[in-house]
Structure 1
Amino acid sequence: MTRILAGVFAVCGLLFGATAAGAAERIVFVGHWSESDSFYNVIRNSAQLAADQLGVTIEFRNPSGGDLSEMGRLIDQAIASKPAGIISTVPDEAIVGEPLSNAVATGIPVVIANSGSAEIAAKIGALRYIGQAEYEAGKAAGGKAKAAGVNSFVCVNHFYQHPVSHQRCQGFADGLGVPLGGQEIDSGTDPNDVVTRAAAYLKAHADTQAILTLGPTGADPMIKWVKDQGAADQYFFATFDLSQDIVSAMKDGLIKVAVDQQPFIQGYGAVAILTNYVRYGVLQANDVFSGPGLITKDNLEQVLALAGKYR
């Protein structure tokens, strides 16, 4: 009996020790989104879920108003705090590439999530990249539009300063088999600016057949505008990502296709990859491409309950 109890206490001690070690592990997640970006909530929710389940601490840091110039400073601050690891988006390699390389040089493991590429991750020295192949995602959506007879569009780009955004627009154009040319506009992030600039383009190019938005920041105000204009049947409306407004518009048939990069996988997977590496020194062999997945009215019911939270 004494030996049995001793064994039980020993096991309990090991479990307690592992829990305590897990609680002491701290990950910093630096993202490029503004707090008002609903897409950010999905990444954050899934990363927090993984942290809770794995027993690690996670801190989220993002630039005020989505100002990319702040990201380098936020990464430097994260390095100075000496976390167990850093997760970061790479909306612009010129801004965050060097700070993230510095993190790796100091011995802090890094995972790139959401924006960036496997090539950039390798260049920085990050463990892995987990995110969507952006050009391919745009091309897949463009293929859907082409099948519907579309040959012209406007790309309403709300994050024009991010190199990855242009890959989405170019992919859509290539999916249609047309030059991108001047069909991409810098809409800004303010809902009024989005509508004003997109409406001006559509007025000047009355033969435009499709509207492509690159996320809820552009999609949500454009959904309202299209409804207000009574133009639901006039445009093939395609978008990236999901929000409650996008889901509702898909149910109504206004939005024909949404590109789902499955941000749950990005946030949750990045925390899991980093935690497993820090704790056990194990690392999966390949980068992770979380998308694209195309959502249409036909498969929408699967994601309805989780839109805006985990989808």
Structure 2
Amino acid sequence: MPLNPKLNKLLETDFAQIYTLPLEQQREWYAHSWDDCKGSAVEVGTVQDFTVTTSVRDTRIRVYSPQGDGPFPAFIWIHGGGFVFGNIEVYDPICRRITDTVKCTVISIEYGLAPEHKFPQPVAECYQTVSWIFGHAERLNLSANRIAIGGDSVGGTLAAVICQLSRDTGEFKLVYQVIINAMLDLLGVTEPKSRVENAEGYRLTTKGIEWFVSQYLNEASEARSPLASPLLAEYLGELPSACIITSEYDPLRDEGEMYAQRLIAAGVDVCLKRYNGVIHGFFNMQETLEEAQDALALVCAMLAEAFGKELQ
């Protein structure tokens, strides 16, 4: 399918030039690069920030609760940004819309960024934060047996890793996972064709992926670990059912679809949908792309089903 023409102006930006800026300027640019397309914030019941003490650092989380008495099911959200960029604010409108639509609590994690916090620190930090959420379910007015997790881009990477860890440790049980445009094979050892077909010209480039990975890893050999590249795990059975979303013009497209197929082969129930005509990051373009709105509606519907609810 041809590229959505609504993306033409965006793709006139010289994204390669961004990587030459000082790191803090890169992060500032990224944080505001979504302002014209991510949409407005809807009102929800309450919004509260908490600090969770982990072995890595004091981690900020934001808890969006719907109106009503609860306890509510919960969706834990992990933001994207290549492990280097991103924060709670970038995805604030999306978290609010999920809260309002599904009538669930959404908890957004602001993990430490690379290169200050390299692998495996974000994994440990997010895992311990999820564990804290389960341990404080009553305080947060949550239904502890109805907690799901998900994320966009590397947020989806971390969500997939945490699902594998929770299965292996048995410390807590997640009921669903949402993986959107995720990087699941950091060095591309599975040779995804999309890293060649979409190598440049669509905002996220294959060279850009290599740069992000170099910031995140201490050494390239770490990419072989399933804690870094969940697609490389030997066993993918006994994991939560999943909604996996990919984009036609995304260099990460094929590894997301490979992960979906491997989950299906392992007996996991998967809803896989590729959105044609769009690029990596499209999910946050709620104001400008119908595909983004449809993807959000799909995520909300799948979460509601996982929580045993019906959308109004």
TM-score of the aligned structures, taking structure 1 as reference length: 0.38
Larger-Rg structure = 1
- From the two aligned structures, give the one with the greater helix fraction: 1
TM-score of the aligned structures, taking structure 2 as reference length: 0.38
